[in-house]
Amino acid sequence: MKIARLGDRGAEIPVVQHDGRSFDLRAVTDRIDGTFFASGGVSRARAALAAGTLPVLDGAGSLRIGAPIDTPTKIVCIGLNYRDHAAETGAAEPSEPVVFMKDPSTLVGPYDDVLIPRGSLKTDWEVELGVVIGEQARYLPDPAASAGVIAGYVLSHDVSEREFQLERGGQWDKGKSCETFNPLGPVFVTADSIAHPQALGMRTTVNGIRRQGGSSATMIFDVNYLIWYLSNFMVLQPGDLINTGTPAGVALGLPDHPYLRAGDIVELEIDGLGIARQRMVQA
């Protein structure tokens, strides 16, 4: 099942997308948030769709596409989680996941503009498989238990400012938490609709030039391991987003370092999760 949120920022309408139509979910919920996931919202939405009680949303095709989930309590990110990406940056493969946090207010829609921060010279792209938590996870016994707390998956763009991240005091968060730095979507896809999350093709083009072409199969630490690992250091709450890393092909790792400038267009795609497209605008 695919869930989206349509409409102006702050007034998005939740919908189920099915057979080329958008079905209004407001009879089930106004928000796709932690409460929705924790209260069995996915099952209720699926049942309502099957029962034919959800009306088609008139004019859905003309509405802005927002981030498919509401602002989570936290965004947890994993760095250097693809072998080819670690190699291109000159970093050793980590023996444990590299964890950092991203400001949840960075979430924007998949076609919204991305603001290049004032003073930025090294704004970079990163296509990532995003994982949305569906149940509270704390001290999971093993990686296999992680499957039971995954609500679903989403295409996530972990935009990064490399100078802020790596050259301005060593704190990754401030190179990751600039305004608009996490476009998300276009859809949230429930876990049962993604049979093999570790076999998803991932692609990025910038101004029509292919920059990233990888697969979630080359993660160093897979999704289940990451969730288990994180649950030993923090409580993962329903609705939380985990960005699981990016394959090779970012500007930081390319010989000419073609960092993003105002007017550039970034298009991202993950198998089964849709296509996103953003224009870079100077803040």
One of 3.90.850.10, 3.90.226.10, 3.40.50.2300, 1.10.3720.10 is the CATH number of 75-282, namely: 3.90.850.10
**Beta strands 75-79 and 241-243: pairing type?**
parallel
91-150 pLDDT, tens digit each: 889 999 999 999 999 999 999 999 999 999 999 999 999 999 999 999 999 999 999 999
The pLDDT of residue 89: 82
pLDDT score for 88: 87
- Residue with the two structure tokens 């250091």: 233
Per the structure block, which two tokens stand in for 172? 């990754």
Residue-wise pLDDT for 142-164, tens only, equals: 999 999 999 999 999 999 999 99
pLDDT tens, residue by residue, 182-225 = 999 999 999 999 999 999 999 999 999 999 999 999 999 999 99
- pLDDT tens digits, one per residue of 226-280: 999 999 999 999 999 999 999 999 999 999 999 999 999 999 999 999 999 999 9
Cα dist from 104 to 15, 49, 257, 271, 275, whole Å: 22, 30, 28, 25, 21
* 241-243/127-133 β-pairing: antiparallel
Task: Please say whether the beta carbons of 64 and 71 come within 8 A.
Answer: no
pLDDT given for residue 226 in this prediction: 98
CB 42 within 8 A of CB 48: no
Query: What pLDDT sits at residue 87?
Result: 86
Give the CA dihedral 28, 31, 34, 36, nearest 10 degrees: 0
In whole angstroms, what is the distance from residue 132 CA to residue 68 CA? 11
Query: Which regions of the chain does DSSP assign to beta strands (E)?
Result: 2-6, 13-18, 21-24, 75-79, 98-102, 107-108, 114-116, 123-124, 127-133, 150-157, 160-161, 182-190, 201-206, 209-215, 241-243, 265-270, 274-282
Element (H, E) at 83: helix 83-88
The answer on pLDDT for 86 being more than 90 is no
| Average pLDDT across the chain, whole number | 97
pLDDT of residue 171: 76
Looking at residue 272, its amino acid is G
- The Cα 124–Cα 170 span in angstroms is 17
52: exposed, middle or buried (Cβ count in 10 Å: 0-12, 13-18, 19+): exposed
Nearest to 164 by CA among 104, 119, 126, 107: 119
For the chain, the structural domain boundaries read 2-62, 75-282
Q: C-alpha distances in angstroms, 44 versus 1, 53, 135, 200?
A: 12, 11, 15, 28
Q: What are the C-alpha distances in Å from 17 to residues 2, 31, 201, 250?
A: 5, 16, 22, 32
